[in-house]
Each structure stands twice: as C-alpha cells, then as structure tokens.
Structure 1
Amino acid sequence: MLTMTTSTSTNHNFASALTERQLEASFANIDWHAPWLYHLSQLDYLSKTISSLSRSSDNQANLDRRIDDNQQTASIAKVLNQALTQQGAADTQSLPRTKPSADNYPHTLQFVPQDTLPEGQGYEQFIGTTGKIPTRDNLHDLFNGSIWLTFPKTKAMLNYHHMLEIAKQGISERRGRVRDTITVFDENGAILVTSDTSIGEALIDFDWQNSLVKPRKYWDKMDNPSKDAKAAVYIFGHALLEQLIAPRKPLCAHSVVIHVSQDFFALSKLERISYLDDKLSEYMNDLLAQSGVTPRQLAPLPILGVPYFWSDNSEVSFYEDTFVFRSGRHRPKGR
C-alpha cells in the first residue's frame, strides 16, 4: 500500500494552523541537508533564516532584525518575500508573475498573511486576480512558497488552469478531473528527469528493478551532481516535502516523466531548474488541456526509493517490500 498526501479543500485548507509553539518545533525538525531539498531556490537563505527563527524565543523580534519589511506581514510571508526579492536581484530578472486568464492580466507575485484572503473568496482565484499568495506561519505554507520560488512558471500555470475551471464550473465541493489532477500534483508531485527513455518507461510500468535498482549508477546525487548522470528526481509537491520532515518508507509521490538530452546534466543547478520549469509548465499545460485528464495519469513513485535519497535503499532488499513497491497498471509514456 502506498501513502499519498492530497488536499480535499478548495480554499487552501490543506493543513490546520499551528500554534507558535508547534510552529517552532516543526521548523526545528527540518533537515536542510536532505537530498530532496537541494533543488529549492534560495535554499541557503531559507535554511539560515528559518533555523534562526526556530531557535528564537521571540520569533517576530528575530525576524524584524533580519528582514526589512512591513511590520504587519506574517513571519513566513516575510521570509518568502525577501527570498523572492533576492532571487530577482541575483537573476537580474523581473519578479515572477501570474499567468492571466481571459479577463485578467499578469500580477507580480507577493506573499501575504492568510487573513488578507477575503472571506468567501477562493484561494486560487485570489492569487490569479491579485498575484498575492495567502501564507500561514506553518511548514505547509513555507514549502508551498519555496516551490513558488523554484518553479514559478509551473505554479502559475497550475493556478491558471484552476482559474479556467472555476470560470467554467464555479467553486463547489466537486472540483472535477482537471482540478483534482492539479491538486494531486501540486500537493504530492515529483518530476523524473531522464536522458534514458528506458528508465522513464520502467517507472511508468511499475518496473522498479529497471527504473531504480539496476540503473542506480546512472542516477544523480543531489549533493554532488554529475554531468554523466542519466536520471534525477525533483520534488514539486509541497505537502510531500512537509511529510518528509518525518520520512516513512510508504510515502509515495505522483510523478511525471520529462525526457531531456544528456546536456541537461551538464548544467548548473540554477540552469537545470530554470530549464525544467519551462519544460514542466509546458507539460502540465498540455496534460491539463486533455479532455480525459485524470490523476491516474501521474505515475506513483515511492519517494524514498529514489537512489541516494535514503541510505537504506543502497540494499537491493529495500525494493523487495511489495507493500511499498507494488505492481500496477500500465500508464501513458512521458515526453
């Protein structure tokens, strides 16, 4: 059996708000050296600031010393806005924007306190029409913001498709296949990037031996990337990142496969992520435009089975656990 993390709320009620005491404890449990975090943009700044925040007995005073921002802005929103500004300055590019729907225009992204969201307005609709991302002081929203920093085009594309569906169907408890697919990937998604089509096809076919075990030497190490690697996994789902604070073998991502040339693995981290954000946003746009799209088109991937993600998976016996690495149906191939 595979464990997944998905949302059941339309208005971003993905996790209950934590008390300040719980927030501090949760932050202190983040292992910033975990391989599944290496790809996050502004990782050094986030790790140092959040670590300092979690150690402080006075969270707000500590942040005010480190961040020059509006006194009324919630703590995590402050951290993420500063990271966004630093990222824009480092890349010498304008800040990322939303993708506009037919009756709207692009908005520059900004993280704001959760109570900025007007009562009764949908979370995705608010982002699409204002560019403001309501953010609570908890792990879930910290990781959501970190994915906005890392994959801004893809996150904007997902929100755009939410907006299209809301325009068609309104907001109701039944979101439909498109929004269900968006939510599963947004919360729990991962991207397998590979220059070897056989690895991607094996993953889609639940062939763990030929996707994860036998080609192990061709898998990239996140802390020491190699130009000779042929496969790597990057986590997109922010709820999955939250779950990985306490790693469990059954945790399962819902993945897409992006095929690349070997040149991809010679790129720097920043170049890889920028390229991948472009490719992934195109992939998700095409996928979500399909009339029969369903979350079942996302390939299950037991995330701790990714080579070098977890020390125990160095043993072949790790993959013999059929409770986690089960057989399953065949799926459409990646691109």
Structure 2
Amino acid sequence: MRATRVYCVFLVIVWCVCSSGNLEVELTTPADGSLVGGRVAITADVSATYWTDSVHIFINDSLSFSESSYPYVFSWDTYPLQDSSRHTMYAIAYSSDKDDAYSDTISVTIYNGATIFADDFEQYVAGDYPWLNGWYTIWDGAGDDYTYIEQGVAFGGSSSFKLRGLDDWPRTDGVDLYMVGVNKLTYECAVMIPDYSYTGALLGFYVELDPTLGTVVNGVLFDYADSTVHVRGTTNYSTGFTWQRGTWYLVRVELDYGNDSMDVWISDQQIASNLVAAPRDTSHTFALATEYGINGSVNYDELSIYEHD
C-alpha cells in the first residue's frame, strides 16, 4: 500500500512539472538586421514541440508558411525582390494547451545583384534532397533514394548533386526562375558522368510537351551514344566536342533573348556560336537531368544563373 501511494504522488509531480511554463517561439534564422539574398531559410524554434499544434511565419504581415510538425523551416525566395528593399518577419506558435506564442519581429534587407539563381550544394546534409533551395522532381528516374547530395564528389567544395535515371525513365529535377525583364542570361554549371556510369547528361530549360513527355531547350547534352556534346537551342546541334567519363566539365551558356541566340563554352573552350535559341518565355524552369533511355548517374555542381550585359 505504501508503494502505491509513492507511485501516485510521483505521477502528480511529473504532470505538474510538464504542465508548468509558457510556450515560446523564436526566429533563429535569418539574423535580425542582416543582408540576405537567394533562397533564405527562415527557421522558427519553439520551447516545447509537444505543446505546439502549428507554427505560422509571416513576412510583411502576410502569412507565408504554416507547418504542424518540427522542423519549422520556410525556404523564402528573394530573387524576385528589389535590391535594398527591407522586409519584416515574425512567427506565431499556436497551441490548444497553452496561450499562443509570438516571436519578436525581425527585419532583413535584400541583395541579389545580377544573380537569378545559384546553388553550390554545400549547405545541405549529405544524403538529403536540396528542396530548401527550391529544387523539385520533374521525372522520377530511379527514385528519390538515388538522387541526393553526394559528399566527397565535387567540382568545387566537397559536395555535388547526384541524379540517377533508368533505361525508360530519366531523372530530371528543376527549379523555377523569376525571369521577368531578363534580356540576356548566362548560366554556368559543372557536370561529371562517373566512370561507372553509362549514361549522358542534359541541362537547360525544361518544357513539358504532355503529362508523360518533356524536352529541354537552350541547353547542353552530353550524348552517351557518340560521346560528344550537343547544343539544343530550338534544334539539336552536334559540336563534335568529345567528353569522357570521370571528368568534370564546366558548361557556360550565354543567351541573348533580344536576338534569340546562344553561345556555348565547355571549360573555357567555345563550342557553339550564334545558334538559334528558344524565346525567353518558352520556359522559366531550369532543369538538370540524366539522358533519356540509359540507366546511370550524373553529378552536377556549382550552378550559377545570372543576367549579363
């Protein structure tokens, strides 16, 4: 009987301890007063997740994000915003057991310069998918288990983005760009097909033809069949440039939308000049892919897309 009383008292004490205190919420990133650009991770932290039903993040007093489970992280796209513009944000944690909690309001200033999008794939955990920077799956290929951030294989830094496709299902991942008013655009990206991989690589602007078919325009194809680089503007053009597996190549494409033309370099060697390019509004989705019809992996790194004069 004595043991039973002690057990009951213990339960009451634990309940009292767990029930005490107030729910609190704080924005831990970005820092108040900081200069930010690109995709910004807005992170909210709560004092007790077991009291928290949901967390809402407000930017400029408008609801921008809602999440009911930890972690509470919102990827904020600042590329469409004007440089030097100032923006405020705060979080609210809602609870059915406690009073709702409000974070302090912080402010940040935007600066992107000429950059439209950039990703060096260094900010992610190895094995994760880079959704935080706006990437999403277009075609599954071998599936999400085989498309991830690979540590120890890189053109610059220590990580790259590895994609794997199948014979009948390429892997394609894209990111949507804000391109209003862009007249001249350059993109650079490092590409490597591993020694063990018998496939090609394709990067450029993705166009969906129907729900089961797509293509890439204003892009570059590392063709597996002939081991040469092809350029895709509005049509396919074989450059005769030979590539090898296990070697990193830095692709640079300059697009002049005013003249619908494109120039292409591979590792500082110009391989195409003044080819006919698709108009800007054909696609605002930039994509990385494995070549259709062949099972294999491709690594991409150091992607940068920017306006040029």
Q: Please identify the structure whose Cα radius of gyration is greater.
A: 2
TM-score range, shorter chain: under 0.3
Provide TM-score, normalisation by structure 1.
0.22
Structure having the higher strand fraction is: 2
Structure number with higher helix proportion: 1
Whose RCO is larger (CA < 8 A, sep 6+)? 1
TM-score, normalization by structure 2: 0.23
